[in-house]
Amino acid sequence: MSNNLPTYLTISTDINRDLSDAIESIAPDKIAVLVDENTRKQCLTLVNIESDLIIAIQSGEKEKTLSTCQQIWSQLTSNGFTRNSLLINLGGGVIGDMGGFASATFKRGMAFINVPTTLLSQVDASIGGKLGVDFEGLKNHIGVFQEPDKVIVYPKFLDTLPKRELKSGFAEVIKHSLIRSESQWDYLKSKAFRELNWEEIIPRSIVIKNEVVNEDPLEKGVRKILNYGHTIGHAIESHFLDSSSPLLHGEAVAWGMILENKIGVEVGKLDQEVSKEIEKYILSIYDLPEKVPDYQSLKNHLLQDKKNDAQGIRFSLLTQVNSCTYDVLIEDVILKKILK
Ligand SMILES: NC(=O)c1ccc[n+]([C@@H]2O[C@H](COP(=O)([O-])OP(=O)(O)OC[C@H]3O[C@@H](n4cnc5c(N)ncnc54)[C@H](O)[C@@H]3O)[C@@H](O)[C@H]2O)c1
Ligand SMILES: [Zn+2]
């Protein structure tokens, strides 16, 4: 299994050893570390490396912008960083996506190492080379495809991650299992959430994402199955974004998987029993709001989906555990029926 891990990725049991090995092979002239206030407190304290600069930003998706990149570029510039320097991005998906993008573009590209510290970033955001920032309210609107020089996944960082964030990342683990691994799905179902062994789950989940990405690095075809749960999930996430109780990404995706499965049943692609079993499992883990947001609001968000084309809204739908199809055009009447 470990053969199918990305070549640039190490699963670590000793973060300090693996990080210093990676730094040694890059041999940078200067080192900066990008953190937010939480990863500075919880993760940087576990890391023993000599750096020339700590760049600390505020946590949160709303900071994932070009103006934060500007702060990063300014600090690198005023501290004499060059194209031969290194940025270590220590944090969740926000730090990894944005720090990676800032590195890939600084002086046309300096080295960077991503050290993901959330479950979501360990099993998802760190694999596949997508880097970027949000722009004018549009998620990941500005960015590039580029693999980091190194990704070091140290599951022990999850010890301090708030449980709600852990469960949010877990939605991607469920997704990976459903689209590609019946054995992982069986394993998940066989344990209570608190009994799950992350050291086992994380590498298996990374391998699944990596295999799909390698089959289609630029998302022209099969990589779209990774969007399972995400078409409705993103619409739900956007709907709740400005509410008093926003949902985390994975919570919205978990809900999205339930609703997209219902669409699959409706169009005859998925067995109803399988859909019900998945729904029951997801509802046993997440506290989802009782009511689906109103149809018109969801529809407006669905129309913004990057995967749409002139013909309409396209979905990646599960057809059975272990198998997912993509680019399925769903008619408005069906959407209306399920989402109402
Ligand atoms: N590049 C990709 O392919 C890809 C894939 C999926 C998601 N993403 C992106 O990832 C981002 C979401 O990532 P995320 O869920 O990791 O969110 P995040 O980076 O905002 O981290 C979540 C919260 O956890 C805190 N935190 C991080 N590690 C911690 C630790 N070990 N202990 C305590 N607190 C910790 C952070 O400070 C933050 O408050 C989104 O911007 C999304 O677009 C990218
Ligand atoms: Zn996701």
Residues 61-74 pLDDT 10s:
999 999 999 999 99
pTM of the model: 0.96
Q: Give nearest CA residue, ligand 1 atom 41.
A: 94
Task: Kindly state if the Cβ of 114 falls inside 6 Å of ligand 1.
Answer: no
Task: Kindly state if the Cβ of 91 falls inside 6 Å of ligand 1.
Answer: yes
Domain 169-339 has what CATH class? mainly alpha
Task: Kindly tell me if the per-residue pLDDT of 29 is higher than 90.
Answer: yes
Nearest atom of ligand 1 to the alpha carbon of 130: 1
Considering every ligand atom, which ligand is closest to the CA of 139? 1
C-alpha 31/C-alpha 52 separation (Å) is 5
Give the Å distance between the CA of 39 and the centre of ligand 1.
10
Our mutation pick for probing the ligand 1 site, out of 8, 35, 95, 97, counting the most ligand atoms within 8 A of Cβ, is: 97
The helix (run of H) or strand (run of E) holding residue 114 is strand 111-116
Which phi and psi (to 5°) does residue 320 adopt? Answer: -165, 170
Average pLDDT taken over every residue of the chain: 95
Q: Give nearest CA residue, ligand 1 atom 22.
A: 92
Give the Å distance between the CA of 121 and the centre of ligand 2.
10
The helix (run of H) or strand (run of E) holding residue 198 is helix 198-215
Give the Å distance between the CA of 50 and the centre of ligand 2.
34
Considering every ligand atom, which ligand is closest to the CA of 121? 1
Instruction: Report pLDDT digits (tens) over 295-311.
Output: 888 888 888 777 777 77
Looking at residue 136, its pLDDT comes to 85
Our mutation pick for probing the ligand 1 site, out of 114, 120, 130, counting the most ligand atoms within 8 A of Cβ, is: 120
Task: Kindly state if the Cβ of 149 falls inside 6 Å of ligand 1.
Answer: no
Instruction: Report pLDDT digits (tens) over 93-126.
Output: 999 999 999 999 999 999 999 999 999 999 999 9
Which phi and psi (to 5°) does residue 36 adopt? Answer: -110, 180
Task: Kindly state if the Cβ of 219 falls inside 6 Å of ligand 1.
Answer: no
Q: Give nearest CA residue, ligand 1 atom 19.
A: 92
Task: Categorize the per-residue pLDDT at 28 as very low, low, confident or very high, splitting at 50, 70 and 90.
Answer: very high
Give the Å distance between the CA of 267 and the centre of ligand 1.
35
303 versus 88: the higher-pLDDT residue is: 88
Give the Å distance between the CA of 61 and the centre of ligand 2.
14
CATH number assigned to the domain with residue range 2-160, chosen from the 4 options 3.40.50.1970, 3.30.70.360, 3.40.50.300, 2.60.450.10: 3.40.50.1970
Instruction: Report pLDDT digits (tens) over 156-202.
Output: 999 999 999 999 999 999 999 999 999 999 999 999 999 999 999 99
Taking the C-alpha atoms of 107, 104, 249 and 302 in order, what is their torsion angle to the nearest 10 degrees? 90
User: Where are the chain's structural domains?
Assistant: 2-160, 169-339
Q: Which long-range contacts (CB under 8 A, 24 or more apart) does 200-205 make?
A: 201/123, 201/173, 202/11, 202/119, 202/122, 202/123, 202/153, 202/155, 203/1, 203/2, 203/5, 203/11, 204/1, 204/176, 205/123, 205/124, 205/172, 205/173, 205/176, 205/177
C-alpha 226/C-alpha 327 separation (Å) is 12
Q: Give nearest CA residue, ligand 1 atom 16.
A: 92
Task: Kindly state if the Cβ of 172 falls inside 6 Å of ligand 1.
Answer: no
Give the Å distance between the CA of 220 and the centre of ligand 1.
26
